[in-house]
Structure 1
Amino acid sequence: MTHSAPGPAETVLPAALDEAVHRCLVAGFAGTTTVPDPLKRLVDRGLGGVILFTRNVRDADQVRELTGALRELRPDLLIAIDNEGGGIGHLVAAGAPEVPGSWALGAADDPRLTAACADALAGHLLSLGITASYAPVADVQSRPENPIVRTRAFGSDPELVSRHLRAWIAATEARGVASCAKHFPGHGGTVTDSHHDLAVDPRPYDELDLAPFRAAIDAGVPLLMSAHVVFPALDPDRPATLSPRILSDLLRGELGFEGVLVSDALEMKAIADRYGEAAGARLALAAGADQVIVAVPDLDVTLACRDAVLDALRSGELAEERVTRAAERVRRLALRYAAPRRPDAVAGWDAEAGLTAARLAVRSGGPLPRPVPGAHVVDLFPAPHPALNWGGEDLLTAWRAIDPTATGTAVTGEPEDAGIVVEEVLRAAAGRPLVVAVCDAELYPWQRRLREALLTARPDALRVSTGLPEPGSAVCAHGRGRVNLRAAAEALTGRTG
């Protein structure tokens, strides 16, 4: 009787190689108090990291218990979170420090304040048992119509971005928290959000915004995150996350980065719709990534990515040496950052740094208008981005906290009947100063139409921008973090909270 040779799917890999594959994965999951059994099994086999989201956060004590439970399963498990500050954050319910976001820090342009804000965020993370932060954003806001970077960037000048990156990275490192510069080699020159589709940066090589990433590497940043963006000048065929030319030749070879390179989330449509998450995991690791993020809480997606990598190793499609080198980088990173440095003795941080920076940013635009207490405030803004977890804070709430006599209207997303909204606003604002705030109106024609209709009827109305600064604005908040909106309200009322 003869037996056929085992197929690739039946070949058992050495235990060390199986563990190396798992080290190359970062998994999202659901739950706030218990660790799902499939995640436990992944951790048992060597899972490199987990990424937390708002869905995992109820309050500070709960997060500490959750991170403690995860670390009991595996002490060298990296526990990470997106923690950019401003409107981008998942730890509001856990008492996150209020900082204004990168664009406002760049507008204030005081690297010491940037460092103080980064220190506050990192200290808070450390107090919760989280030791890796997927921040700061190293992208340069290069295209006015870019839909995803915008106020997440420190600015549109590469040198300004670079000096604030250096300040952020140094302050985070001083806390013993791993920072991550993203999204290599830059997402600011696109007109597409890679959460929704494949983005392309058509610029020639010498116009790409690589300088901030060079600055981050020189500053010793331990993590870089890749962009799901095609750069025809570098590789016309594949997005950076899947491109050996970009990840291996450019980042490792030319720029000399020796830290851990992590992919942006594989379920983003730029990857998932064209390649699938599982193929994306295999291709990213082959291209030079050290870890791939699967942020969705459905652990079956993570398992499918894991299995695709295992199968590629069995078939020889993916080189063992590529995975073992990646896993070794992750192991070294975990030795430095996985365990908090004395979490019971986290020193305090400057709780006022964020508001100070937000106020400076508001004043950076020039003279402020005369105060308008008792105004009717119209706040027009798009619905929160589902992947970034901006909480939808509105200017009226911040305004009324310091001027209870104010009234207002918050319009989140395009209204069904703009005419009715205009009539209601004009009626409510009769006899009051009128303030009309927009957020990135150049991207949202409905905001421009509403503002124009209101200004036609009330040419005395004050214009405010809460996204990127717009010409003609009396006040620019430089972002929609709570301290951004508070600083704008203070400037317009002449009061402080």
Structure 2
Amino acid sequence: MSHFEHASLRPAALPADLDEAAHRCLVAGFEGTTSVPDTLKELIDRGLGGVILFTRNVRDARQVRRLTDELRALRPDLLVAIDNEGGGIGHLVGAGAPDVPGSYALGVADDPNLTARCADALAGHLATLGITASYAPVADLQRRPDNPIVRTRSFGADPGLAARHLRAWITATEARGVASCAKHFPGHGGTVTDSHHGMAVDPRPYDELSADLEPFRAAIDAGVPMLMSAHVVFPALDPNRPATLSRRILGDLLRHDLGFDGVLVSDALEMRAIADQYGEAAGARIALAAGADQVIVAVGDLNVTLDCRDAVLDALRTGVLARERIEEAAGRVRRLAERYATPPAHVADWDPGAGLRAARRAVRSRGVPPAVPGAHVVDLFPPPHPALNWGGEDLLTEVRALDPTTTGTAVTGECGADPDALVEGILRRCGTAPLVVATCDAGLHPWQSRLRDALSARRPDAVLVDTGLPEGGALCAYGRGRVNLRAVTEVLVGAAGG
């Protein structure tokens, strides 16, 4: 007997309408590209509110559309969602996702019309795939240089700048019939911990947190239909629980003070900030009681989703979770589905060059030679984040595409037991050619700093490039999306950008 069948045969079953309402409050991840697992079919039949797709569900555009059509055939009001921020943060490379820079580069270019064109391209592509909910844009402010998770996903540190670009993004996405989602309320930019890996805490007093709320206010004013909560503890707001599980933050602050009445969705419950401290099942129950309308269980193992579902049903049976709270949440999800569950019948073309234009306008330079053709390029970058699926694009590939005489070395992750030998090998291969050394968030990854400093000490003429946030290089791309790297490449090789 399966887990699902066992749960289904329990005595004292809930009324059918309440059972369906509880299922509306769940968003499930799953494995597979060409068929829907039986357990997921059963969940959908009982009223599952949404599914979230990841790279594991993507092979190519035609396959994704077949999959979303199959899902929607099971239940037409099922929301099909994905993380789709741009700048390499997304899961649709295999399906031909438009190349746009990350949000920080858009903030540096600071042209809301161009931001809107980039958001329109992403949303238009989603609509062609039958995906009608996008867990983007990021509304967090990049507050700390040692923040490990927001960084170039943010539009910047200034709340006014972030607000105007959020409005542009949300409006453009809405025009495509795709639901956007501002995240991670009330902000993840003031932490030094990635909530994927542990509990994050923002220790700032309330008066310092208030500016971080302004982008979310702007998103709400722009009509954003969804917000996503942060797995972050804010002692000034609620010293006991992270925002995802806090009635003070989700109810008093978001619903009452900010007046948001759209769908509030949790960040993924299997993230260690929740899973390690509470467990996914308890996290689901507490989040819904606190005011979330949907909880995401993004992991592909549907048994985790079933555990979360069972915890919610048990809490309803025992009165720990109020029926009225779940009916309120399910009502919001139904209204969201009425607006967004059905993809548009016709999808107009989008501007395919908007992303590269934005990336070019974001590049900042100081003291760079007119061009360094025939260079030896050393690209240092951390391994891709498993949840965000940055694709690991490298600068060397982009430079070679424009200058085939380029040589180089790409290094991702720690450089082994003998970094001195690596430095000697790089310098030997470089010879008398110009040397370019690119880093990405070297302040967070000391091995990059050590290699960069060792190389530049031996070659003071080396051109230093920052592909994340600025770290003193002569060139800064403000992101590692493919178009960010292409734009900085054009400067390095002297190619004329459009």
TM bucket normalised to smaller: over 0.9
Give the 5 Å matches for 1:199-238: 199-208=200-209, 209-238=212-241
Cα distance in 1 for partners of 2:352, 2:183 equals 26
Cα distance in 2 for partners of 1:374, 1:137 equals 38
Q: Give the corresponding residue for 1:292.
A: 295
Q: Does 1:385 align with 2:385?
A: yes
Letter of the 1:488 partner, please give it: V
Q: Give the corresponding residue for 2:129.
A: 128
Give the 5 Å matches for 1:84-483: 84-208=85-209, 209-342=212-345, 345-363=346-364, 365=365, 368-416=368-416, 417-471=418-472, 473-483=473-483
Letter of the 1:205 partner, please give it: Y
Deviations 1:340-392 (A, max 9, x none): 121xx2100000000000000004x5675320000000000111111110111
Deviations 1:269-312 (A, max 9, x none): 00000100000000000000000000001000000000000000
Given the two structures, how large is their TM-score scaled by the length of structure 1?
Answer: 0.97
Cα distance in 2 for partners of 1:26, 1:368 equals 48
Q: Give the corresponding residue for 1:3.
A: none
Q: Is the 8 A contact 1:402 1:496 kept in 2?
A: no
Q: Does 1:76 align with 2:41?
A: no
SS of aligned partner of 2:18: helix
SS of aligned partner of 1:453: helix
- Specify every segment of 5 or more residues in structure 2 that has no aligned partner in the other structure, as ranges: 1-8
SS of aligned partner of 2:90: coil
SS of aligned partner of 1:399: helix
Shift of the alpha carbon at 1:496?
4.7
Cα distance in 1 for partners of 2:107, 2:348 equals 26
SS of aligned partner of 2:380: strand
Q: Does 1:37 align with 2:38?
A: yes
Shift of the alpha carbon at 1:420?
1.2
Cα distance in 2 for partners of 1:156, 1:333 equals 31
Q: Is the 8 A contact 2:366 2:474 kept in 1?
A: no
Shift of the alpha carbon at 1:205?
1.0
Cα distance in 2 for partners of 1:288, 1:11 equals 26
Cα distance in 2 for partners of 1:433, 1:204 equals 49
Cα distance in 2 for partners of 1:418, 1:70 equals 50
Letter of the 1:50 partner, please give it: V
RMSD: 1.1
Cα distance in 2 for partners of 1:385, 1:12 equals 41
Deviations 1:209-262 (A, max 9, x none): 110000000000000000000000000000000000000010000000000000
Shift of the alpha carbon at 1:12?
1.3
SS of aligned partner of 1:271: helix
SS of aligned partner of 1:479: coil
Q: Is the 8 A contact 1:82 1:134 kept in 2?
A: yes
Cα distance in 1 for partners of 2:426, 2:157 equals 35
Cα distance in 1 for partners of 2:207, 2:159 equals 13
Cα distance in 1 for partners of 2:194, 2:10 equals 36
SS of aligned partner of 1:401: helix
- Specify every segment of 5 or more residues in structure 1 that has no aligned partner in the other structure, as ranges: 1-7
Cα distance in 2 for partners of 1:276, 1:339 equals 34
Cα distance in 2 for partners of 1:211, 1:421 equals 47
Given the two structures, how large is their TM-score scaled by the length of structure 2?
Answer: 0.97
Letter of the 1:372 partner, please give it: V
Cα distance in 2 for partners of 1:337, 1:421 equals 52
Q: Give the corresponding residue for 2:23.
A: 22
Cα distance in 2 for partners of 1:366, 1:408 equals 23
Shift of the alpha carbon at 1:10?
2.8
Q: Is the 8 A contact 1:260 1:329 kept in 2?
A: yes
Cα distance in 2 for partners of 1:495, 1:182 equals 37
SS of aligned partner of 1:264: coil
Cα distance in 2 for partners of 1:198, 1:132 equals 27
Cα distance in 2 for partners of 1:107, 1:484 equals 12
Q: Is the 8 A contact 1:9 1:314 kept in 2?
A: no
Cα distance in 2 for partners of 1:252, 1:489 equals 46
Cα distance in 2 for partners of 1:129, 1:274 equals 36
SS of aligned partner of 2:64: helix
